[in-house]
Chain A
Amino acid sequence: MDRPPAVSRDLALDDRGPRGGAGGSVTPVPDAVLGAASLVAHRLGHLGHVAVRVAGPGARLVLDPPFVPFHRRPARVVDALAERGRRERQSTGRRLEGLVAALVPALVGRLAQLVPLTDLVRQSIDLDAVVADVDLDTAAGRIDLDALAARIDLDAIVRRIDVEAIVRQVDVTKVVMEQVDLDAVVGGVDLDAIIDRIDLEGLANEVIDAIDLPEIIRESSGTLASETVRNVRMQSIDADRAVERIVDRLRIRRNARPGGRLPDGSPT
């Protein structure tokens, strides 16, 4: 059996794709043109490779003839040209970088003005899915919270907080009743020391002074004699004051007696 020509072999190799794909019911013309161009390019590349291999020694002999002084060989000229080209390329690259650095920010800024990026991101990107893929624990583990906290001016933050307003919203009584063991707190209080600091005698005297203790005793004991004596004493005092007023009225005394008082307590 004879071997197929090279072109037929290349076509057979390249034709395996369409056969196993869409079924090839209609011959796609663009694909055929593309296949022809690919075949031509493949051939040209093969020919170029062969040409290089054939012409390579000759070209090396021409460019780097051993009988010509080293610095006069054409290869040196090529090297010098390559060096110049390399410098020019680097210089051009730097100019291009400067140009890009100048243009890109302005371009991006203008683009940001023209395009609603936030809305675009919201519409185009499923942020939930993105965030779900993020390992927040690992990210949080990488954060140096101590250093972060050291950079925060807590005093300034605390000064801006209205603690009184917060406390007003908290039912402190309820919190204390639920969270504090009041029995233990009271048990730790030195009541004796507190009582020692209180002037119990003075306090008792104030209480006794505020009430009419003799009246209470008199009512509880029901002593008729003490009640009679009391009435006699008060009536005699009233009589004393009456005598004083009469004497004053008769102008026997030029001036009122020092410290003298009427039965109602007013000065004479």
Chain B
Amino acid sequence: MSTGDAPEHPSTIPAEARTHQGQPAGVVTRLLAAALDLVLVSGLLLVSYVGWTMVLFVLQQRDFSVPRPSLAFVVGAYLVVAISCLAIPWSVNGRSYGQHVMGLRVTTRDGEPLSFLRALLRAAVCVFFPVSLLWAVVSRRQAGAHDLLLRTVVRYDWRTWR
């Protein structure tokens, strides 16, 4: 499978994985990748919260109190961070951090890398409707609902990060 200017070279892929290279990815691997992405987003939010708290502690030493952001703010921050953590890597490298760990790559059906707009829309759909991924269980092409909507494919790709 090609992702633009990167030539496919099977020698960089372990021998036992070469038969799977370029095949549509299954739902288990994709769920694990999504879970890793969720962990990453949660970690970023947690680090951001801790950092924000420390900044407030430094600035408001007398009347310091632990910040209690509203639910809307938390949800908003989660949406922004999550969509950013998915859309930017997809448009740049075709794989989020979780997909990088699991050896997956997102492309169009033609094997081309996603444009930023398509990556942004896909990320939004994934964040708002994560259950759309489960459609891959019953899909003939291992495609989630967002893949069918945006005509994208997730394949096994064990090549090293470009």
Contacts and interface: CB of A to CB of B under 8 A. Distances in A.
Interface in B43-60: none
B25 interface: yes
Nearest to A205: B11
A240 to B, nearest CB: 2
B111 interface: no
B66 interface: no
Interface residues of A, number: 30
Given A233-B102, A237-B20, A243 B140 contact: no
A contact patch SS: helix
> B interface, how many residues as a size bin?
20 to 34
Contacts of B10: 209
Interface stretch (A150-158, A168-176, A254-262): A254-262
Nearest to A204: B11
Interface stretch (B27-35, B70-78, B82-90, B115-123): B27-35
Interface stretch (A58-66, A120-128, A211-219): A211-219
30 contacts: A211-B11, A212-B15, A213-B11, A214-B13, A215-B15, A229-B101, A229-B103, A230-B14, A232-B101, A233-B17, A233-B158, A234-B16, A234-B17, A236-B26, A236-B28, A236-B32, A240-B26, A240-B28, A240-B29, A247-B137, A247-B138, A257-B141, A257-B142, A258-B140, A258-B141, A259-B23, A259-B24, A260-B24, A261-B20, A261-B23
Interface of B: 9-17, 19-20, 23-29, 32, 101-103, 137-138, 140-142, 156, 158
Given A233-B158, A260-B24, 14 more contacts: A211-B11, A215-B15, A230-B14, A232-B32, A237-B156, A240-B27, A240-B28, A241-B26, A243-B137, A244-B26, A253-B138, A255-B140, A261-B19, A261-B20
